[in-house]
Structures are given as C-alpha cells and as structure tokens.
Structure 1
Amino acid sequence: MFHLQTLELVHWDYCQRVSLPLDASIITIAGPNGSGKTTLLDAMRTLLGLRCSAPRDYRTYARHAGAQTAWLRAVVDNRPQGRQSSSRPFARRLLYSDQVTLACRIDRNGGDWQRRYCLLEGDASIERLVDTPEKDLGFMGVEAWGRMLAAAGLSPAIARVLSLEQGQTDRLCEFSPRELLRLVFDVFGDQQVLDAYDQAREHQQQLAREMAQAERELDHSRAQLSELHNRVTSYKTWQLRLAERERLAAEVLPVLAWWGEREQLARQSRELRRQKAQHRAALAEQAVQNKRLLHLLQESARAQQQAEQLRGERDQARGQLDAATRHEAPLEQLAKREQELLALVDKGSNADDLQAHLAQLQGQEAALQDERGQLTQRRKLAAAALAALEGQSLPPLPPEVQRFRKTLASQGIGHRFVAEVVEVVEERWRAAIEGVLRGHRWVVVLDKSQDLAEAWEVGERERYRHYIVEPGSVALKGEPGTLLEHVKFTAPVPRWLVQQLQNLRCVADPREGKRLGGTWITPQAYMHDGRGARSMWVEAHEHQFGAAAVHARRSAAERELARIDAQLAPVLDELMALKRQIADTKNALAGHSAAEELVRRSEEFAQARGDLPAARQARIAAAQLWQKLEQESTRAHDRHRAFADEHKRLEQHLQRARNESERAAQDWSARRRQHGAAVARSQAQRAQFPTRWVAPDAIAALVGEYMNDTQARLRLHAVEQELEQGTWEQDATVEERHRRMDVTVREQAASLSDHQVKNAQAATAVLNARESYIEVLRSTVRRYRKNIQELGQLAGVEVAADLPLLENDDTVLAQAGLKVHFAFDGKGSIGLNDGEASGGQQVIKSLILLVGLLKDEESGSGGFVFIDEPFAHLDVRNIQLVGHFLRSTRAQYVLTTPITHNLEVFEPAEITLVTSKKPRDARWAPPIAVAKRRGAPELRPMMAA
C-alpha cells in the first residue's frame, strides 16, 4: 500500500493555500479545539474518496472558502513495498515513477458542488494541473477513483477504517467476530479465488434467474391456460344458463305454480273439514256448559238462601248473647262489690294497712291505664286501615311509593307499578302469587323508553329501592301447570317477570314437588328452586293484588278490631272495679265503714251470688251459639260468592264461545264457496299441460329440485340477473385456443425441467469453488493471526485468535467469526469488546487489529492510518503505551490532538503540524506551523519483524 509524502490544500475551508510535509512515520496535528485539525483529516479523506466526519462533507469546506474552485493534492510513494516485491502500487495504471500525484478538484456547479479526481506521474504542481487541458488529465468520478485506489492497496475495508470519526479509535475492537472475519478477508483475500467463487456463484444465480424466468413464463402460460379454461367454462355455463332460463319459464314455473295451488287446495279442504268438526264439538261443549251454567245458578240460589237463613239465626243468637250479657253484668258487679267490701273489712281500721292497700290499687290502675292506652292506639290504627279500604278497588300504596309516584308525575314521566296490573285468576293460588311477587310489587314499568334515563336519575336522587324498567311486553296466557296460568296482567310487564312465573310449576304439596323435581311451588306458598326450598307466605292483611286483596285486607282489619275490642273490654271492666276500690279505700280512710254496707246489702249480695252461676252459664252458651252461626254464615256467604263468580265467568265464556262459533260458521261457508271455484279453475288449468309434465314422477322430480314455484321463480330471477349482469364468454372459438395453449404449457414445462438439470450442475460447481474459497479463507485467517501476534509482541501484549469453524455451506460461512483475545501485563485474557479493557488498552487493541490489516505478509510494511484524537481520555501511562506501540509498528500515522499540558502526546511524533484558530476579523486562517524532529528518518517500508 502506498504512503503519503506531501499534502497541499487550495481554498479548502479557511485555508487559502497550505502545503504540508507528510514524509514521516508519525505525524501529529496539534491545535486548540476548533483550529482545523479534523479539517486536515477530512481533506485527506476527501482526496482519497472517503466519507468525511459526520455531519460534515466536502461541500461544507468548499463553501466556507468562498471560491469557485478548490484543490486537494497529495504526493504519494509509488516504490515497491518490500525487498522481495517489485510491484508498484500504481503499476496497473502504468505509472512506474517513485512518486505519484493524487489530485481532487472541487467546482461549484450551479447551486451545488462537484468533485473530480485525477492521477499523474511524478510530483505535479497545482499550476501544472490548472494549465493542463482537462481531457489530458483524465478526471474520474468518486466511484472510479475508489476502484483505482483499491487496486493500489486502499481496499474498501481499509477505507472503512480510515473513515473512523473523532473519538472512535477503538471502533475495531467493538466489531463482532463475524464482522472482523469479513473485514480480514476483504483485505487479505485471494482475489482470483474469490473471483472464481463469485463467478461460479454468479453463474448459478444466472441459471437460477433463467430457471425463475422459465418458471414465471410457465406460470404465465399456466395462468393464460387457466384464464382460457375459465373462459371455456364461462362459455359452457352461459349455454347452460340459457337452456335453464328457457326451461324455467316454459315448463317449471307454470307446473310448480299449478302444483302449489293444488296442494294448497288440498290443505284448504282438510282445513274446512277440521273446522266443521271443531264447530260441532264447540256446539256440544256449549250444550254442556249451558247445563253447567244452570247448575251453578241453582247452587248459587241455594247458597244465598242458606246464607240469609244463617245470617238471621246469627242475628237472633247475637240478641240472646246481648240479653244474657246484660243480665249477667249487674250480678257480676254485685259479686265484685261484695269482694271489695270484704277486702276492706279484712284491713280493719288500721290506717297504715289501708294506705298500703290504696297505693297497691293505684299502681294496678296505672298499669291498666297503660295497657288501655296501647290497645286504644292499636284500635285507632286498625280503624284507620279499615277506613282507608272503603271504596277502594286496590289496596293503598305505601308512603315511600306514593312519594316516588308524585315525583315521577311532576317530571311528566308516565308509569305504572307491577302491583297495579296483576290480577289473581284463581284464589286457591293467591298465597303463592302474593309470595312470589312480593318483592316485585313496586317495580316501576315506564310508558316510554325515552324516559328511562331521566327516571333512573330520579330513582338515584330519591334512593328508590325497587327496579325501574323500560316498557315491557304483553304477557300471553301461561302454560298449563305453571303459576303464570293463574295470573292475569292487565298491562305489559317485564319479560323476566313473566319468565319467572312461567318457570314455576304448581304442585299440590312438597312430596309431589320432590317427585317431579325442578322449580315448583305449593298453594301454601312453599317454593323450591336451585338453592333449596323455603316458605313465601304472606299474611292476608298484606295482600296486594286485585280487588280480592282489598276484601282480604278488610276482613283482616275487621278481625283485628274485634280481637282488640275483646282484649279492651275486660281491661275497662277491671279498670272500673279498681276505681271503685280506690274510692272505697279512700272512704274507709275518711272514716266510712265497709262492714255497715255489707250488713245493709247482705240480702242483695246473697241473691247475686245465687243467680250469677246460672247467668254466666247462659251467657257462655249464647256466645258459643253465636260464634258457631257466625262461622257458618261466613262460609255460606263465601260459597254463594264463589258460585256467583263462577256463574259470571262461565256465562261470559259461553257468550264468547257462541260469538266465535257463529263467526266460524259464517267464515266456513264463505271459504267453502271460494274453495269450490278454485278447484274448478285448477282442473281447467291442468288440461292445458302436456301429460308428461304433470305425471307424478315428473312433478316429484321438480319438487325435489326446486321445492315450490317461489324457489323456481327466485331461481329464474337469479338466472336472468346472472345473464344480464354477469360477464359471459360468448365466443365459440375459445375452446380451440384453450387446446393450443395446453400444448404450449407442456412444451414450457419440458424446458423448465432442462433448466433445473443445468442448475443442479451449477450448484456442484459452486460447491467446488466454495471449497477453494474456504481454503483461502483459512490461510487468510492464519496470516492475519500471525500479523496481530507479531504486532502484539511489539506492543508487549499477548494476542491469540481462534480459527473459525469453516464448512462447505453458505449458512455456516455466513455465521463464521474470528474471535481474538488479548492479555495485558500477564493478566487474564480479554475479548474484543467485553468491557474488561481500559481506555488505553482499547486503543492498543484497535491499533493492533488495524495495523494487522495494513501489514504486508512479504514485506511486513504497513499503510497509513488517520486517527482523530487517539489520546483522548487517556492518562500518562496509557499515552506512553500507545506512543510506544505507534513507534514500534513503523506504519504511517496521521494523528490529531488538542493543545494539552501533557507533552507525552507529542513524544512519538516525527512531524508536528500546529494549527491555530482563525481570528474573528480575518479572511483566512493563520499558516500551519511545521515542527520536524531532528534526525527523523525518511519514511521507508517497514521490514518484517
């Protein structure tokens, strides 16, 4: 590889014209930050056709100068590289002088800059270049320039290394083993073997492309054949559709339409016979119901008569009870009076005893007063509940429900509660219905769906604890045996509520429910579901659904009043007796004697004691007779009402049945006349068809194919649409074209088979070339390993390289890598980029790898390297180590370093170029100072170690 000797810049950045010597092994460019050190390196990179340090490029530097043309010129060494070699770097360009001039001209081309390169023998000045006609200079572009320099030893791999930017000196040691192996082979590989391998592989790829082309042509022909096949299919399908349309319109539709009417007439005939039989059965059922209606009327009359008789006997017994009570009451009061006086006589005239007895009586009076107050309050509540039921068809709403209804009404939201739309059809199942629907009584069913959101907001604000749902659906009659059968909804309700009643099976008792299983309920509201069984019983005074619930609540309220009155009467009597005893005790304390009253009224008290037992017995007998008659009267009244309700229901049902029967008879007569006329028309139409069309087998085949005339009509419409809107092939010659294309496809398939055989032969040739390539690769790796080991000895570093696994397989070759290990100062081995090395060791590792690429096997000489600030972030010891290595390799290095107080960075340099910053008001940068070490030897190719 050639070496740099001089460098000249004209109008490059802020340099008007600079000529610098580079004929030394180590050249250091020093200067403060921003003084143009990297600018000089980028000038060398641009001259060699390399990439500048990012983000700069040659346009940036040419533009700063402000001139129309900029020149970069370098004189390089063209002498043979080593004693055993007579080949000059630029011998391929027929340049055999010891020096060669490399030049780059950068011109402003419109708004952009353009660079061109030329190569001249000897040391040609810029003035000579300017005076020489351009056609004689042989300017070339950057790509041709790169190929020419590659032939001179500046391979693309080395160019990659020379393009390393500032602070990236250790980039090579960051390469992966595979990247490093690829770089080594790019630099050292035997070009002839590589060309042979590339040529064999290119030949195989060419055959593969030809085979792929043949495959594409075959695929294209097959696609054309497929297209022609589709067109033939389309042509045949078009012919079939035409024939199908003709058959559908002329035969299938008329026959199937007639057959469909025929089947419909047969069904109508069967329906008419069924309706006539139903009408007769309905008349018979009406006769039975008439007898049942008469029986119910008679039973109702007898029950009413019995109820009236029992009511009279009950009233008479009530009068007897009242008389016995009036007769017993005075006698009982006299007996109590006698006992009170006897108690006072027993107390004697002791004032303390009388005072204690008075206090006891007053305490008992206070307790009875409290009890009377509680019973009176309960009687008021029961009386208020009874009064609230007067004139009501439905039980009243709870207070919180009434408040929520007022709020909804004020918002204009129409609604109803579930409790308002439920009617119990059969009273036997009222307890079960009341129990199941108890939790859903106050569910709000809205009239309009659009009110749902607003109603929910009201419910949230009022904290309403029951569901608010959108308008429900009309509930149909429940299936027999379900609880829904015994419920009637007068308005739409939620579907889930209907489903809940539909799912409950009605059973007589839990034993039957256990036997049947599932979800069931008894008349006593004992329900079973998936979780188990429990009672849903609701007391009669809490019933809510229908007018019967009002009657049940009224009866319960009346019974509650009677019970409270029965409890209140003895309390009042006992309270009156205590008041008399208190008055007598107070009189005794005042000096009145109870003994005198006992003597005075002894005969009266004795008569009362004798008459009281008989009077009490008479009153008890009268009370028992009244209670018995009261119960029998209630049962008779309920029986009369049940007969009356059943009679009314049956009468309404019978009236509806009569109306429906009359309408059915009229409808049957009209349909019978229409049916006769339709049968006559069908027979006339059948006579118009050919006999074979209406044969049973033919009609069965048409029905099996099309089912009915509607499907046939849809098929005809689909066929017509398909013929009208579809794209059909109507050219009869397409069948012949399809036959010819089929022959072409078979010929192309045979040609493709021949290409596949040739491709297999080419693969064998590639295999052989790859074996030669592997052998060269092995020798290249061994050569590079030797180079880096020798350089390691110069640097005092133990270097080892593992030979990669190489097999005759492209995948294995692509994954192969070169693993290099270093050992500094006798310490453990470290890899390429494992983080174990210091900054200086990283630099030395990269320099060993770098110079090993530049080292020629025969002569041992190295090329030149640009290193931007290699001493950055290194301490004195590492700077000395790097400097020692640079001197020992004797390759040509162009280094940059900032002005620093550490003079060790200048120790290895033989030529030092000192740059300065451009003054603020100056047009050009100051001249670059050149310091050359005394006795610095002229750069010569380095001999092998």
Structure 2
Amino acid sequence: MFQMKSVEMVHWDFWQRLTVPLDAQIVTIIGPNGSGKTTLLDAMRTLLAIKCSGKRDYKRYVRNNKEPFAYLRGVVDNPRRPSGGLYPTPFFPIVADAVTLLCRIKKQGGDWVRHYAILDGDVPLEQAEGQAQWMGVQEYRRRLEMAGLTPAVAEVLALEQGDTDKLTEYSPRQLLDLVFQVFGDKDVLDNYQRARDEQRATELELESLSRQEEALQTRVETMKTRANRYLEWRQLQTGIARLRDEALPVLAYLDAKSALGNVWKNYRGNFHTLNQAQGEHADTLQLVAKLKAAEVAADASRKAAETARVGAQEAFMAAKGEHAGVAGQLKERDRLQALASKEYGADAAQLADKLAALRGEAEQLKDGLRELKKQRQDSSQHLEALEIGRGRAPEDVRQFKAALDEAGIGHLMLSDIVEVLDPNWQAAVEALLRGYRHVVLLERESDRREAWRIGEKLRYRHFVVPERSSPPRANAGSLMEVVRFSADAPEWLYRQLNSVSRVDGAEQGADVSGDWITRDGYFRERRGARHIGVPAHEFAFGEAARQSRLLAVREALKALNTRILADEERLVAATREAAGLAEYLGGMDAIRQLDSRAEEFAALETRKQGLESEIARLGAALGLVSAEKEAADQRYSDARLAHDRVCQREQDSLAAFRQKQQEVEQARRQVRRLLSELREWAERLPDAALAADNVAALESEFDTAADAKHQLNYLEERLQSGDWEQDEAVLALKDKLVEDLTGLDRERQRRQSEVDRSRELTDEARAAYMGKLRATVRVYGQNVKRLGELAGIQVEVELPQLSNDDTALAQAGLVLRFNFDQKGLMGMNDGEASGGQQVMKSLILLIGLMMDESNPSGFVFIDEPFAHLDIFNIDRVAGFLKATEAQYLITTPNTHNINIFAPSELTLATRKKRPGEQWAPPILQTRRRVDGGEPA
C-alpha cells in the first residue's frame, strides 16, 4: 500500500490555499479544540474518497469559504512491491516513485459535485488541471482499492475522533471478515458466495422449470381429456345416427304393425260399449221427462190445495168475525142487565175513573193491533216469496246484490245452487254451511276487481268468490255425497264437504279418523267436537229448507191471526163498556134500554147460536183442506227430490256416454295415426331393412322401438347435457403438447446435470481455497502476536475451524485474548481492560492488518489515540508505533503531556481563525533533527 507525502488544500474550510508535508513515519497534528485537526484529516479522507468523521461531509467544508470551487491535491509514494508480479506498483501502469491524487469540488446544478484524477509524478496544481482525466467517485475508489486502499482499510481510516478502540468492539465474526477483506480473501469468498447464489438462482429456475413442466403436464392431461371427450362425442354421433336412421325405423314399423291390431280390437270393443251407454242415457232421459211431468202435476195439485185452503180459511175467518160481532153486541145486553140489577146512585167519580181506564186500555190495544198487523203483512209477503221460490235476505245482502245488479255484474248466491238430496242430512248440511249461506259467486272472473271494490265500499261481511270449478267425484261416506250443485261452486267448498264424513252418532264418529258430523249437526274437527246445528225455520239450502221456512212462516202467521182476533175482541169489549159507562153517566136508564132492545137481543142470541154451528163446520172443513195441502206439499217435495236424483243420474250417464264417446274418438284417431305411421315407415324403409336377419339382429339388441327410442333419447340427452369437445384440432394439439412436454423434460434434465456439475466444481474449488483462508488467518495471528511482543503484551489467538460448509463459514470467528502486565488473559471487549489497554488492543489489531509482506507499509489515521492514556502508556504506545513500518497521522490536543511528541518525526500545529479575518492562519510544522544535526 502507498504512503502520504503531502497534501495541498485550496478553499478547504477556512484555508485559502495551504500545502502540508506528510513525508514522515509518524506525523503528529496538534492544536486546540476547533483549530482544524479533524478538518485536515477529513481533507485527506475526501481526497481518498472515503467518508468524513462524524456527521460531517465534504460539502460542509467547501460551503464555509463562500467560494464556488475547491481543490485537494495529494502526493503519495508508489513503491515497488517486493514480489513484483503482474502489478509491480500500487498505481500500475504508473511506475514513477510519486503519484499525484487530485480532487476537484465545484458547484454544478445548485449542488457540490466531486471529480477525481490520478496523475503520474508530483504534478503542481496549475499543471494538474490541464493534464487530469477526471473520473467519478466509484471508478476512483476502484483504482485506490487496486492500490491497496480496500473498503476495510477505508472503514478503519474513517474512524471518528476518540474511537481508536472501535476495533475491540468487533465480534469474532466481524473481525474475521475484516481480516479477509484487508488480505483480499473476502472478495474470493464473495465470488464463491455469488457462485452459490447463482447456483441457487439456477435451482430456482429449475424449480420454475419443474413447475412449468407440472403446469404443462396438467395441460397435457386436460388436452387428453378434451381429446377423449371429442372421441366420445364422435362415438355418440355415430350411435345416434345408427339408432335414428337404421334401428328405430325398422323397430317402429314392426311395433306400429303390432299395435295397429291391438288398437283396432280395442276400438271395436269401445264402439260396442258406446252404443250401450247411449241406450242407457236415452232411458234415463225418458225417466227424467216422466218424473218432471209428475213434479209438474204435483205442483198443480199443491197449488189447487193451497187455493182450497185459502178459501176455507177465509170463510172460517169471516164466520169467526161475524160471531165475534154478534157476541160483542150481546155483551152490551149482559152489561145492561148487570146495570139494571144494581141499584142506582153509585159514586159518579169512581165510574168516571173506570171510564178513563177503559179508554186508555182501548188506545193500547189499538197500538198493539197496528204493530201486529204490520208483522202479519211482512209475514204474508215472506210467505208469498217463499211460495214462488224466493226467500227474504238480510238488508246488507239485498243492498250488495242491488249494487252488483246496478254495476251489471252477473252473480249467484251459494244458497241458490245447493240442493240436499237426502232430507235426513238436511240439518247436517245446513249446520256445516251456515256461515256460507250469503257467499256471492261471480259468473265472470273478470268482474272480481269491481265486485271487490263494491264489497269494500259496502263492507260486505261475506265472501265474494270469482274462482269456480266443476264438482269433483264425491268420496264414499262424505257429506258431498248427499249434496248436488246446480252450478259451479268454489273448489274449497268441494274439499270441505268431501273431507267431512257422515256418522249416525258420536259413538260411531269416535272410530273415524278425520272430520265427521251427525244428522243433527254435532261436528268434530281438528280442534275438537261441538254442536253447530241450525233450527229448521232457519234452513237456507235447497227445497227442504224452503219447505221448513214455509211451515215456520205459516205457523207464525196463524199465531199472529189468533192474537189479532183476541186483541180485536178485547178492544170491542173495552169500547162498548166505555160507551155504556158514558151513557150511564149521561143519565140513560138501563132497564128502559133492555125493554126497548129485547127483540134485538133475542135475534142476536139466535144468530150467535147459528154462527157457532157454522164455525164448527167451517173449522172442520179448514182442517181437512189444510191436511190435504200438507199432503200435496209433501207429494210435491218427494216428486221434486225424485226428479233431482234422476237428473243427477242423467248427468252421470251423460258423462259416461261422453267419456265413452271420447274414448271411441281417441281410438279412431289412434287407428288413423298408426295407419299413417305404418305407411310412412314403410315408405322410408329400404327393401333390405326388413330382411329377416336384420330384423332378428335388431330384435335381439332392442326389445321394442320404445327401447330403441329410449336409448336414442338417452344418447341425445348425453349429447345435449354433456360438455363435449367438437373440434378435431384437439387431437393435433394434444400430440403437440405431449411433444413439448417431452422436450421440456429433456431440457430440465440437461440443466439439472449442469447445475449438479457446477455445484460439485464450486465445492471442490472452495474446499481447495480453505487452505489459503487458513494461511491468511495464521499470518494475521502471527502479526498481532509479533506486534504484541513489540508492545510488551501477550496475545493469544484462537484460530477458527474453517471447513467447506456454508454453516461453518457463517459461524466462524477469530477470537483474540490479551495479557497486560501478566495479569491474566482478557477478551477484546469484555469490560476488564482500561481505556489505555483498549487503545493498545485496537492499535495491535489495526497495525496487524497493515503488516502484509506482499503489500508492505501503508498509512493510518489515528484521531487522538492518547485520549485515555497515562504518561507511562503514552510512552509505551509511542514506542510501539515507532517499532512498526506503517505511516501514522496522529491528532492530539495541545493539553497533553509532551511525551506525546516523543515518537513524532513531523509535528503540524493548527491554529484557530482569528475574529474578523476571512481565512485561517497556515499550519505550522516542526521536524525532529537526527543525530547529525540535519532534520529528518
């Protein structure tokens, strides 16, 4: 390595231009704090392109003098290496004894920029500017590294002020790396490591190649699957074509020929059954007409009996009225006789009170009669409505029906279309359908919006149903069996009637699962059983309901007539008695009236007896005609029920006839279709298709044409639903991918062989280099031991176990122990050494790096090495430095003992810049004289 001869600074910090000699082994730089000692060292560090001390950098120094440029020029020696070799001098191809290092710093683009140059010989600054071939920092560092200034040495030269003992803080591993860096082995190890990294990168590439091969293998498998799907698709196409064009026509022709005979036989049987059903329906129609005539005759007889009953009742009531009048007149006679038998002179006030009471009673009777007559009129109107087949609906129902009629919405009431076929179950049907008697059925479903709007407006509380359907077949034993509908009804009503079973009593119902009902309306559902029966006069469904209401209304009308007659008689009596009291009070003579009206009263008595005989006769006649009327009503009801039952039979026979008619028509169409298919298959089939051997082969493979059709549908369904490959190019693509996979596998195997061979060669080369590393460590250990002997310190070196293994190399370290003053061995940084001992350790470690027989000398910056030393140790360190061959540039404050100058051959004294002056004063220099009196 080279040594420093001089350094020249232009516009460096506060020095305008200054040249400092450095041509001595030990150069001591002394000065007060802040006088520029570290500044001078940082100038040399910047000249050598290494970092400045602390947080400083070169820009800080060139900014202080306010000049736009600065120069640093250093002269170093260029000694010949004892070993010669390819590079005989550090700065080869420069072979001169001196080399000029030049650094130019100037502003460029608003920032400070460095450029470096290396010149042959000691070139002055004025000439160097013109001769320099400027280079960048990295290129310049590379040139200095070739001259011996390795990055490790540069790191040591950059130690901060007072950090001379930093080397003692290195771990064994860090110290071993530093030794390898200084002696050049680190680069070789790094090259080996880079080779290993490249091998690992290649292995990663091989892994990537393997993944590509796996991905390609997956693609190959996928493509094989696609190719198989294509082959399967082509096979399906072939099978479908064979079934559709060969097998199915032949088998269909044979099946059609066989089926035609069976269908023709069924057609003849159905046609015969149709004729029988037609005859049965005709007989039923005749019976319906006969029973209808019987119903009409019974209705005429019923009306005639009613007319006779009304005439007899009117005659009976007329006789009763006349008898009541005669009896009333005779009551006047009885009253007069009662007055005549009394003595006159009674209290007039009492008679007046009695007269007032009688008149009040008469007024109450008149009011009651008016109300009763109004009720009789309503009952008579209700009776007339029932007799002509209509009942009286509640007011809200009448209003809603009127609103629907006004809107033109056709409708029916549910009670109008339900007829109970069995009178014994009339009460059960009425009980179950009681809540539905006012349900409104719309004739057109399209009217539902308007009908619902009217129902919402009038708040109609019953269902308005637009959906209707035909009655289904009644379940055996259900309530639906005894009900007939004259029009379509809601489907939910059919389900409810079909779900309720008829039982004779609760005991029998306990054995029935599901809903059931008794004759009188004891009903069991999912919630339990209860009685829901309806009184007979409230029946609402069918003819039996109408008859029950007719009977109830007639009984009520008869009771009203009896009550009205009784109240009229009481009114007449009260009126007459009041008139008699009035006459008595007016002074009329009762005895005189009896005498004057004796003949009248006698005639009235005779007439009364005759009327009583007439009433008895008319009452007997009325009873007879009423019985006849009831008998006529019963006959009419029976005739109507019989007619209804036969109508149901007629509908059933008609449905059976139409069903058979449809079956015959369907069979006829089937015969025609089979004939057409047979002709079509015969035209499509070639002559050879019906050959015996071909037919036998097809029949052995397929049972029927349906089997072939099923197989065809199965294949077509597979073809439709499957994800098929239909491009024939997949076969070529599969072969191409298989070929690519084979080539990729060959390439991977070839590269794997190369990697294995490269790894083997690298391992062998590094194993061979292990000897060089061990020699380097031994040389360094000998250096520090020899330096320790010079310093009077025992140094023990524990050499690392170096082997050709990554883990062993990564964990290897250089362990050094020191023995000061025979006090025992201590480590590098174990806390047992004093500050001066730490300095001695660092100097031994540092100088040991410079003791390279192939690259001797070199220089070292030591910033304040005597900071922690006493006088004895200062002399000890000084003697140690003098005993070595390296060049030392040492800084020290001027407050230390003068012993610090003992080893110094050249002393440089820095001074502070005076206040008010722009530039700092120049550096003073002192040289030690040799024994001859000349300076060294």
TM-score by length of 2: 0.51
Residue number in structure 2 paired with 1:729: 731
- Displacement of 1:223 in angstroms is 1.6
Cα displacement string for residues 725-780 of structure 1 (whole angstroms, at most 9, x for unaligned residues): 7873346745863883796699699999999x99xxxxx988998999xxxxxxxx
Contact 2:416/2:542 (CA < 8 Å) preserved in 1? yes
The answer to which of 456-465 and 515-524 deviates more is: 456-465
Using the TM superposition, give the Cα deviation of residue 639 of structure 1 relative to its aligned residue in structure 2, in angstroms. Answer: 1.9
Alignment of 1:632-711 (within 5 A): 632-647=631-646, 650=649, 668=667, 671-672=670-671, 675=674, 678=677, 685=685, 687-688=690-691, 690-691=693-694, 694-700=697-703, 707=710, 709-711=712-714
C-alpha distance after superposition, 1:4-56 (max 9, x if no partner): xxxxxxxxxxxxxxx9xxxxxxxxxxxxxxxxxxxxxxxxxxxxxxxxxxxxx
Q: 1:126 to 1:519 in 2, by over 3 A?
A: farther
Structure 1 partner of 2:742:
740
2:67 equivalent among 122, 127, 141: 127
1:377 equivalent to 2:377? Answer no
CA distance in 1, matches of 2:204, 2:809: 23
Q: Distance in 2 between matches of 1:578 and 1:359?
A: 11
- Find 2:527's aligned residue among 522, 527, 531: 531
Taking the aligned partners of 1:77 and 1:522, their CA distance within structure 2 comes to 129
Letter in 2 for 1:729: L
The 1:193–1:536 alpha-carbon spacing in structure 2 relative to 1, beyond 3 Å, is farther
Give the letter aligned to residue 215 of structure 2: A
Q: Assess if the C-alpha contact under 8 Å between 1:341 and 1:594 holds in 2.
A: no
Deviation of 1:699 after TM superposition, in Å, equals: 0.4
Tell me the residue number matched to 1:423. 417
Distance 1:194-1:647 versus aligned 2 partners, 3 A rule: farther
Equivalent residue of 2:67, what SS?
Answer: helix
Query: Which amino acid in the other structure matches residue 363 of structure 1?
Result: G
Q: 1:222 offset after TM fit, Å?
A: 1.4
Once the two structures are superposed, what CA deviation does each residue of 1:792-833 show, in whole Å capped at 9, x if it has no partner?
xxxxxxxxxxxxxxxxxxxxxxxxxxxxxxxxxxxxxxxxxx
Give the whole-Å Cα distance in 2 for the aligned partners of 1:272 and 1:324. Answer: 77
Is the Cα–Cα contact under 8 Å of residues 229 and 738 in structure 1 kept in the other structure? no
Q: In structure 2, what is the Cα distance between the partners aligned to 1:377 and 1:203? A: 128
Instruction: Answer whether contact 2:383 2:553 (CA < 8 A) is retained.
Output: yes
Kept after mapping to 2: 8 A contact 1:228/1:734: no
Paired residue secondary structure (2:417): strand
Aligned residue number for residue 567 of structure 2: 571
Once the 2 structures are TM-superposed, how far is the Cα of residue 637 of structure 1 from its aligned partner? 1.6
- Which shows bigger deviation, 443-452 or 374-383? 443-452
Q: Which residue of 1 aligns with 2:354?
A: 357
Out of 236, 245, 250, the position equivalent to 1:244 is 236
Whether the aligned pair in 2 keeps the contact of 1:422 and 1:546 (CA below 8 Å) is: yes
Q: Which runs of 5+ in 2 are unaligned?
A: 1-13, 15-33, 72-104, 107-112, 117-134, 142-153, 161-168, 178-189, 761-804, 814-830, 832-866, 869-936
Cα gap change, 1:383/1:580 in structure 2, threshold over 3 Å: closer, same or farther? Answer: same
- SS class of match (1:477): coil
Tell me, yes or no, if structure 1 residue 227 matches structure 2 residue 227: no
Q: Structure 2 vs 1, CA of residues 78 and 358 (structure 1 numbering), >3 Å: closer, same or farther? A: farther
Q: What is the letter of the counterpart of residue 517 of structure 1? A: S
| Partner AA of 2:739 in structure 1 | R
Query: C-alpha distance in 1, partners of 2:754/2:704?
Result: 52
* Contact 1:214/1:752 (<8 A) preserved: no
Residue 368 of structure 1: CA displacement? Answer: 2.1
Task: Specify the SS of the correspondent of 1:515.
Answer: coil
Aligned pairs for 1:212-291 (under 5 A) are 214-251=206-243, 253-260=245-252, 263=255, 270=262, 273-274=265-266, 276-288=268-280
Q: Match for 1:590 among 586, 594, 609?
A: 586
Structure 1 unaligned spans of 5+? 1-18, 20-74, 81-86, 104-117, 155-187, 759-763, 773-785, 787-857, 860-945
Question: Counterparts of 1:449 and 1:207 in 2: how far apart (Å)?
Answer: 87
Residue aligning to 2:513: 517
Partner of 1:505: 500
**1:477–1:484 contact (8 Å) kept in structure 2:** no
User: Cα distance 1:458–1:356, how it changes in 2: closer, same or farther (>3 A)?
Assistant: closer
Q: Which amino acid is 1:419 matched to?
A: M
Deviations 1:572-616 (A, max 9, x none): 333333323332332333334556666736756775787787666
Q: CA deviation at 1:125?
A: 2.9
243 and 597 in structure 1: CA distance in 2 versus 1, 3 angstrom threshold: same
The 3 A distance-change label for structure 1 pair 247 and 102 is same
Stretch deviating more after TM superposition (348-357 or 397-406): 397-406
Sequence identity (%): 16
Q: 1:504: how far off?
A: 3.4
Q: In the aligned structure 2, how far is the partner of 1:638 from the partner of 1:737? A: 101
Partner in structure 2 of residue 624 of structure 1: 623
The 3 A distance-change label for structure 1 pair 352 and 630 is farther
In structure 1, the residue corresponding to 2:472 is in which secondary structure? Answer: coil
Instruction: Give SS of 2:730's match.
Output: coil
Preserved CA contact (<8 Å) 1:527 1:533:
yes
Q: Any idea what SS the aligned residue of 1:136 has?
A: strand
Distance 1:378 1:408, change over 3 A: closer
Quote the residue 2:93 is aligned against.
none
The structural deviation recorded for 1:634 is 0.8
Structure 2 distance, partners of 1:605, 1:550, is 46
Offset at residue 391 of structure 1 (A): 8.3
Aligned in 2, Cα 1:629/1:683: closer, same or farther, shift over 3 Å?
same
SS of 2:364 mapped into structure 1: helix
* Residue pair 1:395, 1:549 contacting (<8 A) in 2 also: no
Write out aligned runs for 1:9-24 (5 A).
none
Aligned to 1:761: none
C-alpha RMSD of the superposition: 6.4
Partner Cα distance (1:427, 1:545) in 2: 11
Q: By how many angstroms is 1:507 displaced?
A: 2.0
Report the secondary structure of 1:729's partner residue.
helix
Over 3 Å counting, the alpha-carbon distance change for 1:392 and 1:670 in structure 2 is same
Report the 3-state secondary structure (helix = DSSP H, G, I; strand = E; otherwise coil) of the residue aligned with 1:517. coil
Q: How does 1:896-911 map to 2 (within 5 A)?
A: none
- The count of residues paired between Structure 1 and Structure 2 equals 632
Q: Which residue identity does 1:581 align to in structure 2?
A: E
* Conserved? CA contact 2:515–2:526, under 8 Å: yes
The residue that corresponds to 1:834 in the other structure is none
Aligned-partner SS, 2:587: coil
1:460-482 deviations in Å (ceiling 9; x for gaps): 6665656678x646456355356
Match of 1:44 in 2: none
Cα shift readout 1:537-589 (whole Å, capped 9, x = no counterpart): 66788777799988987787666555544443333333333323332332333
Partner Cα distance (2:70, 2:505) in 1: 122
Does the Cα contact within 8 Å between 2:479 and 2:500 map onto a contact in 1?
Answer: yes
Task: Give the secondary structure class of the aligned counterpart of 1:241.
Answer: helix
8 A contact 2:411–2:442 mirrored in 1 = yes
The residue number in structure 1 matching 2:775 is none
Cα distance in 1 between the residues matched to 2:35 and 2:479: 112
1:136 aligned to 107, 115, 122, which one? 115
CA distance in 2, matches of 1:547, 1:611: 44
Contact 1:79–1:97 (CA under 8 A) maintained in structure 2: no
CA drift of 1:633 comes to 1.4
Aligned mates of 2:199, 2:437 — CA distance in 1? 86
Bigger CA radius of gyration: 2
The Cα shift of 1:698 comes to: 0.6
Deviations 1:860-886 (A, max 9, x none): xxxxxxxxxxxxxxxxxxxxxxxxxxx
Alpha-carbon distance between aligned partners in 1 of 2:811 and 2:335, rounded to the nearest angstrom: 141
Decide which moves more: 472-481 or 577-586: 472-481
Moved more, 604-613 or 528-537: 604-613
| Alignment-mate amino acid for residue 634 of structure 1 | D
Distance in 2 (CA, whole Å) between partners of 1:670 and 1:96 is 112
Q: Tell whether the 8 Å contact from 1:78 to 1:89 is kept in structure 2 after alignment.
A: no
Query: 1:221: Cα distance to partner?
Result: 1.1
Q: Distance in 1 between matches of 2:288 and 2:736?
A: 91
